[in-house]
Structure 1
Amino acid sequence: MHLLALSGSLRADSTNTALLRAAGELAPADASFMLYTDIAALPAFNPDYDTQPAHAAVARFRAALQSADGVLIASPEYAHGVPGALKNALDWVVASGELVDKPVALLHSSPRGQFVRAALTEILLTMSARLIDDATLTVPLLGRTTDEITTLLAKPDTRTTLRSVLQCFADAISAPPKPDFGSEHRNPVKSPPIKPD
């Protein structure tokens, strides 16, 4: 099983990227894990430029998504919405369809991200991705120092919860998809957030 992780932040010290790196350490033993770090290289989406052969950065991104069995996304919230770089990346695969029926889990490094969570849910459902509700998790890292983030992500209870969510995601990937009756993914937050000390 191959898992691909996308961070919605381009910042070097992004808490969402830190959360994804921790997820990579705790992925199931039978899963490979890749943190995709090249979404900034994608050109601004323009349907007129969505031609064959595709731009090299677009082709790499599409190939990475295509080869993944599941995708983890962790994103900050900017202006009550999805950060531009991540939205641009998603725009490049609307028509090409790499996320159609692809299992996707949403992780968050701040409990204040309800707008980006709702926006990503709407976007991904429109793209026919398969959101895995029970693999949604919030770990409160926002506002903490680098050392505090490292300490929290190293805590046994944090790692146990994150490992459990990742196993749930892996199990959902392996299971056949359930029939979609149009509403089962409208409330994606089922796993409770990990509470700060």
Structure 2
Amino acid sequence: MKILAISGSGRARSTNTALLRAVAVIAQPDHDVTVFADVARLPVFSPDLEAGPLPEPVQCFVDSIANSDCVIISSPEYVRAIPGGLKNAIDWLVSRDEIISKPVALMHASHRGDDMLAQLRLVLSTVSTGFAQDVFVRFALMKLSPEDIADHMMQAAQQASVRGFLHSLAQASDDRA
């Protein structure tokens, strides 16, 4: 299964990006996970920009979604809400077909963030009929460095959680086919 893992963070040393990079390693060889950590590079959404060729970073993002079997999103919570960069990325997809029936699941790198997760669930259930609300896993990784996250996620219990999550996502994807 080809999975696009989207980090909702614009930080260079993001906890969520580090989590998704660890997931990409754990997923091998059964799944091919590509991490998209460039929400900060996407221009601010405007319907006017959809009329002609899409801006290059947006086209790359859209193509990545189109070429994946499913999507994982892991995002921080900013001021009890979806970070602006992630919301902007989703806005670029609203009038497009690539995300509509794509299976999408959430992963979270913090013990908190429930307000953002509730908002993200609402938004994703609006833009994708494939949003797998019940496919979810959470890890308490706040305050860890990306290197510490990589080490932590290689522990047997964490790998088992990731594999269980990926199995559930694959089942949700198969159910959509």
TM-score (norm 2): 0.92
The whole-number CA distance in structure 2 between the counterparts of 1:35 and 1:145 is: 18
Aligned residue in 1 for 2:14? 14
- The answer to whether residue 81 in structure 2 is matched with residue 81 in structure 1 is yes
Over the aligned positions, Cα root-mean-square deviation in angstroms equals 1.7
Q: How does 1:30-49 map to 2 (within 5 A)?
A: 30-49=30-49
Distance in 2 between residues matched to 1:86 and 1:127, nearest whole Å:
14
Does structure 1 conserve the Cα–Cα contact (< 8 Å) formed by 2:10 and 2:38?
Answer: no
Any conservation in 2 of the 1:135–1:169 contact (CA below 8 Å)? Answer: yes
**Farther-moved stretch of structure 1 (128-137 vs 80-89):** 128-137
| Range with greater deviation from structure 2 (123-132 or 141-150) | 141-150
Describe how 1:51-90 pairs up with structure 2 within 5 A: 51-90=51-90
CA distance in 2 between counterparts of 1:65 and 1:151 reads 29
> Which amino acid letter does the alignment assign opposite residue 100 of structure 2?
V
Letter in 1 for 2:97: G
Which runs of no fewer than 5 residues in structure 2 stay unpaired? none
Q: Distance in 2 between matches of 1:146 and 1:106?
A: 20
SS class of match (2:72): strand
The 5 Å alignment of 1:1-197 reads 1-27=1-27, 29-146=29-146, 148-176=148-176
Residue identity opposite 1:172 in structure 2: A
Q: How far off is 1:91 after superposition?
A: 0.4
CA-to-aligned-CA distance 1:120-143 (integer Å, 9 cap, x gap):
111111113422234200000012
Shift of 1:25: 1.2
Is the contact between residue 22 and residue 150 of structure 2 (CA under 8 Å) also seen in structure 1? no
Structure 1 CA distance for aligned equivalents of residues 146 and 100 of structure 2: 36
Deviations 1:3-42 (CA, angstroms, capped at 9, x unpaired) = 0010011212211111111111122634221111332221
Counterpart secondary structure, 2:150: helix
8 Å contact kept, 1:28–1:166: no
TM-score of the superposition, structure 1-length normalised? 0.83
Q: Which residue in the other structure is 1:192 paired with?
A: none
**Please, which runs of 5 or more residues in structure 1 have no aligned partner?**
178-197
Secondary structure of 2:176's match? coil
Higher gyration radius (CA): 1
Query: CA contact under 8 A between 2:71 and 2:105: conserved in structure 1?
Result: yes
Task: Count residues in correspondence.
Answer: 177
Relative contact order (alpha carbons < 8 A, sep ≥ 6): 1 or 2 greater? 2
What's the CA shift string for 1:118-172, capped at 9, x where partnerless?
Answer: 1111111111342223420000001234554333212111111111111221122
